[in-house]
Amino acid sequence: MLFPSISVDEHGHSYLGEADLPQSGNERRVGAASQDVKHWQAAKYLPGHYVDFKTVDDIQFVSVMSGRMELTVSNGEKHYLSRGDMMLLLDTSGQGHCTRVLGHEPCQVMIIAMPDLGDFVV
């Protein structure tokens, strides 16, 4: 299963990409193997919330439960997340990314910190 991601290159610039989490199963149930988690946090950000370029402390898997957010990488490219969207954040070094909450609705997210990439293939 492919997920959007933010990675960092050898010059410290963040960029958008994709990460694959291999799935297995049968025609009735397909899923990935369990992945290790350091900790998780549920958070709510109000409309207009903005964080300038910043790295993440740990590899993070983010799931948006409500609202809408915009993530911007080094070259100005933007990715938009809304309810049901997920993204892998790998920019633990370098320039990082900007985060902005869009619209009039609070953005509720589940942030899952991971000790490593686990089974993700970048």
**CATH fit for domain 2-11+38-114, picks 2.60.120.10, 3.90.1150.10, 3.60.150.10, 2.60.40.420:** 2.60.120.10
* Predicted pLDDT of residue 116: 97
84 neighbors 3 (Cβ within 8 angstroms): no
Average pLDDT over residues 94-106: 98
Average pLDDT over residues 90-106: 98
The secondary structure of 2-45 as a DSSP string is EEEEEEE-TTS-EEEEEEE---EE-SS-EEPPP---SEEEEEEE
pLDDT above 90 (res 27):
no
**pLDDT one-digit tens code per residue, 28-46:** 999 999 999 999 999 999 9
For the chain, the domains span: 2-11+38-114
Average pLDDT over residues 4-15: 97
**pLDDT one-digit tens code per residue, 47-96:** 999 999 999 999 999 999 999 999 999 999 999 999 999 999 999 999 99
Angle (nearest 5°) at CA 88 between 3 and 19: 45
| Rounded-to-integer distance, Cα 63 and Cα 43, Å | 11
Question: The pTM is what?
Answer: 0.94
Which has the closest alpha carbon to 6: 59, 65, 68?
59
State residue 116 phi and psi, 5-degree precision. Answer: -165, -175
107 neighbors 80 (Cβ within 8 angstroms): no
pLDDT above 90 (res 11):
yes
Classified as helix, coil or strand, 98 is strand
Q: What single-letter amino acid sits at 61?
A: F
9 neighbors 15 (Cβ within 8 angstroms): yes
Average pLDDT over residues 92-117: 98
* Predicted pLDDT of residue 37: 97
